């Protein structure tokens, strides 16, 4: 199977250096996050000043990867869509919209994000769960309308640590938002504590935009490289081939020192899945 790797695994490199490294090692795809030394705009769960990231510059960056034979199916945003302050929330949505404009301009089909979180209060908080969840629904309805205008899709990465913590909850969320512009970035490490490998595909297969290749121990707060956690990868990859053959599978939580080794773990597990 083909394997990709996120560009932010190589934040110490320029876009050209990252593209060459990805391509020369035979990787097929990248999730582009504008995280390189010559396009250092990516801020996890926040925003950056994109005023210097012009349309022309975005085209140069995307072409840097494509010219090396690396496809760019997704633009990673990962801002906070649960922001309770209305003014900050509007700024986050505008920041997301700018990424949609760039994606549309460059023919990138997916713009990806997690739910977001308030620092120091991540996850299900009983006293504000309903309001936080409704904020997320409102965010995605706004984003889905934007996505319709730009001809792109928004991909949500659900996580056990957030207000959409399972495969079933994600399917319910998509139904509630009510737009076919909403897709799923399925990171099995983020759901393995609440959803089996089978349930991930049972509920989400029709909605999957692409995958993150990452692992997790079921009681860990943070992910690990593929093979270092509790996911049954032969089972997962058998389901991948059954339901989502050819959908981009993009490694995360790897480095320039180990990304080929981790790719080889995926390929070894894939052989066992046949």
Per domain, the residue ranges of the chain are 4-273
Other beta carbons within 10 Å of 90: 12
- How sure is the predictor about 258, in pLDDT bands with cuts at 50, 70 and 90? very high
Percent of the chain scoring above 70 in pLDDT: 100
Tens of pLDDT, residue by residue over 152-175, are 999 999 999 999 999 999 999 999
Beta pairing partners, 97: none
pLDDT above 90 for 124 = no
* Predicted TM-score (pTM) of this structure: 0.97
Task: Give me the pLDDT at residue 246, please.
Answer: 97
| Helix 55-66 / helix 86-105 crossing angle, nearest 10 deg | 50
Separation CA 14–CA 46 (nearest Å)? 22
Q: What is the mean pLDDT of residues 53-79?
A: 98
Interatomic CA distance for residues 58 and 39, integer angstroms: 9
Which among 107, 50, 43 has a CA at the least distance from the CA of 79? 43
Confidence category of residue 85, pLDDT binned at 50, 70, 90: very high
Which pLDDT belongs to residue 43? 97
Direct distance between the N- and C-terminal alpha carbons of the chain, in angstroms, rounded to an integer: 11
Whole-number percent of the chain with pLDDT over 90: 95
Residue 123 has pLDDT above 90, yes or no: no
Sign of the CA dihedral running 233, 271, 266, 203: negative
Q: Does residue 105 carry a pLDDT above 90?
A: yes
Contact at 8 Å (CB) between 189 and 226?
no
Whether 67 shows a pLDDT value over 90: the answer reads yes
Q: Which residue matches tokens 């460059």?
A: 106
Of 85-94, 124-133, 136-145, 198-207, give the lowest mean pLDDT range: 124-133
pLDDT at 128: 84
Instruction: Say whether 109 sits in a helix, a strand or coil.
Output: coil
For the segment(s) 4-273, the CATH number from 3.20.20.150, 3.10.330.20, 2.30.30.50, 3.40.30.10 is 3.20.20.150
In this model, does residue 178 exceed pLDDT 90? yes
Q: Which among 76, 68, 92 is positioned nearest to 39, based on CA atoms?
A: 76
How much is the pLDDT for 154? 98
Q: How confident is the model at residue 132 (pLDDT cuts 50, 70, 90)?
A: very high
Whether the predicted pLDDT of 126 surpasses 90: no
Q: What are φ and ψ of residue 3, in 5° steps?
A: -135, 145
Q: In angstroms, what CA-CA distances link 114 with 164, 170, 185, 223, 234?
A: 9, 12, 9, 14, 26
Confidence bin at 206 (pLDDT 50/70/90): very high
Phi-psi region of 178 (alpha: psi -120 to 50; beta: other; left: phi over 0): left
């Amino acid at each position: 199977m083909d394997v990709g790797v996120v560009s932010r695994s190589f934040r110490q490199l320029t876009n050209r250096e990252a593209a060459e490294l990805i391509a020369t090692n035979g990787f097929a795809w990248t999730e582009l996050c504008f995280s390189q030394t010559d396009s250092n705009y990516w801020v996890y769960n926040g925003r950056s000043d994109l005023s210097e990231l012009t349309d022309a510059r975005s085209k140069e960056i995307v072409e840097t990867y494509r010219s090396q034979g690396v496809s760019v199916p997704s633009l990673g945003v990962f801002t906070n869509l649960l922001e309770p302050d209305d003014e900050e929330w509007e700024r986050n949505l505008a920041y997301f919209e700018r990424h949609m404009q760039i994606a549309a301009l460059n023919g990138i089909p997916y713009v990806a994000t997690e739910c977001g979180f308030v620092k120091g209060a991540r996850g299900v908080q009983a006293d504000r769960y309903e309001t936080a969840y409704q904020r997320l629904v409102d965010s995605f309805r706004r984003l889905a309308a934007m996505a319709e205008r730009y001809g792109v899709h928004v991909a949500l990465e659900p996580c056990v640590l957030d207000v959409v913590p399972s495969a079933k909850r994600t399917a319910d969320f998509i139904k509630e938002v009510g737009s076919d512009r909403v897709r799923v970035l399925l990171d099995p490490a983020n759901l393995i504590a609440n959803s089996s490998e089978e349930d991930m595909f049972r509920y989400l297969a029709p909605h999957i935009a692409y995958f993150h290749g990452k692992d997790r121990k079921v009681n860990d707060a943070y992910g690990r490289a593929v093979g270092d956690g509790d996911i049954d990868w032969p089972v997962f990859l058998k389901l991948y081939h059954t339901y989502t053959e050819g959908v981009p599978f993009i490694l995360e939580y790897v480095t320039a020192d180990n990304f080929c080794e981790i790719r080889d773990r995926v390929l070894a597990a894939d052989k066992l899945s046949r």
